[in-house]
Amino acid sequence: MLNSKIYKKIKNKDINDIFKYINNKFKRSYFSKMHIRGYTDATVDKILWVNPDDIVFETNSSIYYSSLNKRGVIFSGKWDLNLNKFTERIPYRSLKKHFVDGIIWEQTEYYKLRVRGEYGTLKRKEKIDQYFFLIDKLYENIQKKGYKLSKNVASETKESWLSSPGEIKINLGRYGGLIWHFEGQHRLSIAKILGLKRVPVKVLARHKKWQDIRDNIKYASNLSRKKKLRKYLEHPDLLDLYKFI
């Protein structure tokens, strides 16, 4: 049964307004359980080299995107649960169909959404065609020359598409899970398709429980007695702690 206060708010409203109200209330209920718990001890600009296949999920952008879009922040809450798979993203699926199955861009879902103006800001067809031509060029560049740091690519080419302003951005879940957040979705997709073993990423947010693991390892006096911590030692986010052990 509806709460009387909620009923008064949605009474006489159309269905779109009702859904909008419920969605906003749902977001607020999640945000109320999600709090900044400080900032990490890790260098905010450090590069982690990770296996692209280890980036399985993406941040639930409809709820958490702007809140987690901060370098070095530590967040508690359930933001790292109930995630969507990165490989379910339309760009990834379309890139795979194009580069693996040989489907022309015009027949992919990504291209069709772009043309209809439902994905991205490009309007003119020639601009959209150029966009996908540059994805082809990006794929060819990575396939032939390997995956490089953005700053190194920028020094070698004048192509704005290839000289991306930054690395792939991820968040780290409560057990160190690599969660794609934004930037570099085409590069990450291509790396997965080509079967690359390493790509550079930068971390934005860390879950409070993961930061606790970092802290426990950093200040542990004898890790040989702490089996629960030892299993995390090979995690790329913890390699900078070895000098403390």
Burial classification of residue 68, based on how many CB atoms lie within 10 Å of its CB (0-12 exposed, 13-18 middle, 19 or more buried): buried
pLDDT of residue 25: 47
The residue among 68 and 244 whose pLDDT is bigger is 68
Q: Quick one: angle between helices 90-99 and 125-145, nearest 10?
A: 70
Q: What is the rounded CA–CA span in Å between residue 17 and residue 37?
A: 34
Are 51 and 212 spatial neighbours (Cβ–Cβ below 8 Å)? no
Strands (E), 115-177: 168-172
Mean pLDDT of 43-71: 85
Q: Percent of the chain, pLDDT > 90? A: 55
Does the residue 58 lie in any domain?
Answer: yes
Residue 19 is assigned to a structural domain of this protein: no
Count structural domains, the chain. Answer: 1
Helix, strand, coil % in the chain, rounded to nearest 5: 50, 15, 35
For residue 224 the two structure tokens come to: 């040989």
Give the SS3 label for residue 85: strand
Q: Is residue 38 part of a domain?
A: no
Strands 199-207 and 73-75: parallel
pLDDT tens for each residue of 26-54: 444 443 344 567 899 999 899 999 999 99
pTM of the model: 0.80
pLDDT recorded at residue 20: 53
* Domain presence at residue 155: yes
Structural domain of residue 57, as residue ranges?
Answer: 44-244
Say if 91 falls within a structural domain.
Answer: yes
